[in-house]
Amino acid sequence: AEEVRKLFNERGAKVLEEAAASVLREKIECVEAKEALSHFMSHWRDVVRPSLVSLACEAVGGDPSITAPMGKSLTLLSGATDIHDDIIDKTMVKEKGHTVVGRFGGDIALMAGDALIFEGFVELFEGLARSDISPEKKLAIVHTIRRLYAEMLDGEALELRFRARTDIKPDEYIYVVRKKAADVEACMRVGAMLGNGSKEQADAVGGYGRLLGTMVLLRNDLEDMLDLNLLNLRIKNESLPLPILYALENDKKKGEILAILKKEKVSRRGAERLLKLISEAGGIDKLEKLFMELKNQAGVKIGKIKIGKIFRTILKATVPKKL
């Protein structure tokens, strides 16, 4: 994990810093809006997306140094969706700090997210305008981003149907999670396109990105279960984490699990009991099996790709230690 963190910082930290600078140098008269953007960018630590664009480019034989503008663009677009997600899910606190909506309210948060979208597209078009690739490939990159981000947003919209529901089948949930992982595929597929990779290579690293993104989202499910505040937020305002959905298929444990979920607020003791029930019901074992399947599928995708060892190290680091 430390090796991967170091790699991502080396590849993505400078790009993230430049993305923040491009946002903060905009002339904004509204003090609250300017403070909201500053607050978000000071807490936004997404070095992963620009790193994946860079790695994908290098993996197909391209020059990773040309990917910075695209990394900035995709990082800003991802930041916008993160702010909007927090508005939808009413997430006021994240990682022991206030979110934009938690500190500045929904109206300002919405406009801050919109600002990142516009800035992200400016970075996209300026980066493509300065690149040496053909007009046809530039257009193909734009269409790829549009298609995959539209799929991600479709997944986010579909997930709204799962709010506070205990009757969702695990396969239904996994299908939506795979759609939500489309933005990670976009990073890697676009990186391969910038590196002038073949369609086969772009499909390989793009498919890897989709599987990696799915693993990251499912890892978040497990982490949310281990954080009492996030667990209560998931139960009240969002979809239930996958291990709970798996456990609810166990008729012997279902009744007691439902009794905990129906409480106004799950206590620390209740959360510990819930986790024990989920484990006894096979929820953790099933999640572990799914992680191994996704990891193996992703490994196959990049089997013949340059710097495949790095990609396998990233996969290993993504699997939760508790598994």
CATH code of the domain made up of 134-323: 1.10.600.10
Residue 263 gets which letter from DSSP? S
pLDDT at 186: 98
Residue with tokens 């979920």: 261
Helix boundaries (H) for 63-169: 68-89, 100-104, 106-130, 135-159
**Integer Cα distance of 152 and 210 in angstroms:** 11
Structure confidence by residue, pLDDT tens digits, 49-79 = 999 999 999 999 999 999 999 999 999 999 9
Q: How far apart are the first and last CA of the chain?
A: 14
- Torsion sign, CA atoms 136, 139, 145, 146: negative
Tokens describing residue 181: 């992982």
> 134-323: same fold as 1-132?
yes
pLDDT at 307: 84
Phi, psi dihedrals of residue 94, rounded to the nearest 5°: -145, 130
Provide DSSP, 253-281: HHHHHHHHHTSSS--HHHHHHHHHHHHHT
Tokens describing residue 100: 């934009």
Residue with tokens 């572990």: 288
* 217: nearest Cα among 246, 181, 176: 181
Contact criterion met (CB below 8 Å) for 15 and 72: yes
CATH code of the domain made up of 1-132: 1.10.600.10
- Residue 198 exposed, middle or buried by CB count within 10 Å (0-12, 13-18, 19+): exposed
**Beta-sheet pairing, 97-98 with 93-94:** antiparallel
Residue with tokens 């807490």: 43
pLDDT at 154: 98
Provide DSSP, 194-223: HTT--HHHHHHHHHHHHHHHHHHHHHHHHH
* 58-92 burial: b if 16+ Cβ within 10 Å, else e: bbbebebebbbbbbbbbbbbbbbbbbbbbbbbebe
- Sorted by where each begins, the domain ranges of the chain are 1-132, 134-323
Phi, psi dihedrals of residue 98, rounded to the nearest 5°: -70, 140
Give me the numbers of helices (H) and strands (E) for the chain, helices first please. 16, 2
pLDDT at 321: 82
Neighbours of 240 (CB within 10 A): 24
Residue 93 gets which letter from DSSP? E
pLDDT at 322: 65
Structure confidence by residue, pLDDT tens digits, 233-283 = 999 999 999 999 999 999 999 999 999 999 999 999 999 999 999 999 999
* 298: nearest Cα among 184, 159, 144: 184
- In this prediction, the residues of the chain whose per-residue pLDDT falls under 50 are none
